[in-house]
Amino acid sequence: MSRLLLAQGSTPGPPTSGAIGAGPSPPPVETAPTPDLSAQSDLNSVSESLDDTVDAAMTWTERAIDFVRTHVLTLGVAIELTVIAIAAIAAYSLARPAKRLLARLWPEPDATSYQAVIELRKVVFNLVIPLIAVVLLWFGASVLGQFGFERVILTAVASLLNAWILIRLFSTLVPDPFWSKTFATVAWIIAALNILQLLDPTVAFLDSVALRMGAMRLSLYLVLKGVLFAALLIWIASVVAGVLNSRIRRTSAFTPSVRTLIGQSIRLALLFGAIMIALSAVGVDLTALTVLFGGIGVGIGFGLQSVFSNLVAGIILLSERSIKVGDFIELSDTVRGSVREITIRSTLVTTNDNIDILVPNSEFISKQMVNWTHRDAFRRMRIPFGVAYGTDKELVRKAGLEAAEDVHHTLLGVKGREPQVWLVGFGDSALDFELVVWLDPESVQRPAAVNAAYCWAIETALSKYNIEIPFPQRDLHIRSGRLPIVQESATSQDAGKAQEDGEPDAV
């Protein structure tokens, strides 16, 4: 019985003295420690959590395998991947003959062509492979849809490729970083909505947010569509106007002013037509805009007089051809230079210091303007100089003519326009001469530099012949004789001072 109790974990006590004849006491038996119940429960919970994780992983793996088996490893997915591979191979194979055909249909423009056309041709040639691929992908998606096959992957790849091509085209033609990033963001959002099949619900939601104005219903989708469509049409109109302007500038049938007038008229007409088409496309009744146009006319009459006057002045300048591109004009002391561009609103004048000045067209109508190259590109210049009295006039003439020949701006060999030296006046301290020369057309547009060159040459020639250039002199002549000097005595001065101070006279 005692052995049974010990086996069950009872603690043996010390031997008692009352045990007689029991023999020697047995050795003490070591007992196991009492187990920690909290640690055992933590171990059980960890084991259960691990089992749950393994079960969840197995369940997820089974679902993934089932999804791959039912949605990926299917005949439809295999057909879509095959179509994508065929489109890529075909696009790469057809790229070279397509480029040769495109080069024949669209020859490389020269350097004088519109820059947007040159850039557009370059980017189109670089995107030949993606363009062929996206056409084949959309064609394949249409064919698969006709036979009832899934085309989710095909549509996603085609949408992403579409967005990438449009972004490349837009960023090339519109180099502005803000608009390029904005267009890229919109393009990727539309592509993502199309891939997730949320494009139609999004359009329906935007169309539901609407405002009625009489019989016209104006929705948020219609406004966004109109803005995008108008921006696209305005950009196309600008490109077309630029192409036509470049062609008009290369023709010799019109004068530069007429070419500019035709180009500006075409540009305004195309922009106006683009805006009208955009408004009509979004459903705006153009007949209802007559009141708006009337208000705009009143605004022009009262608030936009300067703008309207500049427009009218631009048309007058271009039609009368009083100035043209390339003329050297002088409008005031600060505006002197070559005309670079004439628009409907203003004229661009570039000075000899390479400063561009935009002058409103009304300034040319209301103020006096000097056009140095209006009828004749040659111009006569007079350079004044003086020599001391007593100098040989023929020697002065010889020095002046040599100075004129030494300056390369002088027009030589033309009868009636030879250099001359004139005696034009008698100054206080010098004989006044003028060197009269005719300038070649290139020198007419550099008056300050030309005048400096002639002054330099005249001083060199006069020094060569020891001709004195006088400076203003004044002679002071002192005539002989006596000057009347009035001297007052000190007594009279003191008396006068005393009277001023109010003191009584001495008796």
Task: Indicate the pLDDT class of residue 33, thresholds 50, 70 and 90.
Answer: low
How many angstroms separate the CA atoms of 54 and 278, rounded?
A: 62
Please state, for a pLDDT cut of 70, what percent of the chain lies above it: 75
3-state secondary structure of 340: strand
Average pLDDT over residues 190-218: 79
pLDDT of res. 39: 63
What is the average per-residue pLDDT within 91-106?
88
Residue from 403, 503, 420, 494 nearest 454 by CA? 403
DSSP 70-89: IIISSHHHHHHHHHHHHHHH
Query: Measured between alpha carbons, how far is 441 from 49 in angstroms, rounded to an integer?
Result: 97
Quick check: 271 pLDDT over 80?
Answer: yes
Overall average pLDDT of the 476-494 stretch: 60
Q: 251-266, pLDDT tens digit by residue?
A: 766 666 677 777 778 8
**Between these two residues, 80 and 253, which has the higher pLDDT value?**
80
> How buried is 46 (Cβ within 10 angstroms: 0-12 exposed, 13-18 middle, 19+ buried)?
exposed
Structure-token match 């960023």, residue found: 171
Note if the pTM is more than 0.85. Answer: no
- Residue carrying structure tokens 């406004």: 223
The residue among 227, 198, 189, 295 whose CA lies nearest residue 218 is 227
pLDDT above 60: residue 5:
no
pLDDT of residue 254: 66
User: What is the reported pLDDT for 190?
Assistant: 85
What local confidence, expressed as pLDDT, does residue 403 receive?
93
The structure tokens 């060197």 sit at 435
Instruction: Write the CA distances from 302 to 290, 365, 431, integer angstroms.
Output: 19, 21, 60
Residues 165, 127: contact at Cβ < 8 Å? yes
- Top-confidence residue, 435 or 115: 435
Q: pLDDT per residue over 221-245, tens digit each? A: 888 887 888 887 887 888 788 777 7
Indicate the DSSP class of residue 380.
E
Distance between CA atoms of residues 335 and 345, nearest Å? 17
Q: Look at residue 10 in the predicted model and tell me its pLDDT.
A: 43
What φ, ψ does residue 505 adopt, rounded to 5°? -70, 145
Residue 357 bridge partners (DSSP): 349
Q: What is the pLDDT of residues 401-430, one digit of tens each?
A: 999 999 988 888 888 889 999 999 998 889
Give the separation between CA 433 and CA 426, rounded to whole angstroms. Answer: 9
Cβ density class 310-324: b for 16+ within 10 Å, e for less: bbebbeebbeeebbb
Confidence of residue 102 (pLDDT cuts 50, 70, 90): confident
User: Which domains does the chain show, CATH number per domain?
Assistant: 75-197 (no CATH), 305-373 (2.30.30.60), 379-464 (3.30.70.100)
pLDDT at 249 over 80: no
User: 3-class SS at 378?
Assistant: coil
Helix (H) or strand (E) holding 198: none
- Write down the pLDDT at residue 392: 92
Confidence of residue 213 (pLDDT cuts 50, 70, 90): low
Q: Which of 146, 120, 132, 123 is nearest to 93 (CA)?
A: 132
**How far apart are the C-alpha atoms of 67 and 73, rounded to whole Å?**
9
**Three-state DSSP state, 437:** strand
Q: What is the pLDDT of residues 278-315, one digit of tens each?
A: 777 766 666 666 666 676 667 666 666 777 788 788 87
pLDDT at residue 393 greater than cutoff 80: yes
DSSP 410: B
Mean pLDDT rounded to a whole number for the chain: 77
Based on its alpha-carbon atoms, the radius of gyration of the chain, rounded to whole angstroms, reads 50
CA distance 56 to 50: 10
The answer on pLDDT for 182 being more than 90 is no
Rounded to an integer, what distance in angstroms lies between the CA atom of residue 379 and that of residue 365? Answer: 24
Q: Between these two residues, 457 and 337, which has the higher pLDDT value?
A: 457
pLDDT for residue 313 = 83
DSSP state of 31: P
Q: From residue 497, how far is each of 89, 421, 491, 494, 500 by CA, in Å? A: 124, 70, 10, 5, 5
Q: What is the pLDDT of residues 344-380, one digit of tens each?
A: 788 889 888 888 888 888 888 888 888 877 777 788 8
Check pLDDT > 80 for residue 390.
yes
Among the listed residues 178, 177, 206, the one whose alpha carbon sits nearest the alpha carbon of residue 190? 206
Least confident of 22-31, 379-388, 406-415: 22-31
- Which amino acid is residue 9, in one-letter code? G
**Structure-model confidence comparison of residues 379 and 502, the more confident one:** 379
Predicted local confidence at residue 11, as pLDDT: 44
pLDDT over 90, % of the chain: 12
Q: Which segments within 129-268 are labelled E, that is strand?
A: 210-213, 216-219
CB 400 within 8 A of CB 421: yes
> What contacts 169, CB < 8 A, 6 or more positions away?
120, 123, 127
Higher pLDDT, 329 or 27: 329
What is the DSSP code (8-state) at residue 288?
Answer: G
CA neighbours closer than 13 Å in the CB half-sphere of residue 482 = 3
Quote the pLDDT of residue 422.
94
What is the predicted pLDDT for the residue at 152?
Answer: 81
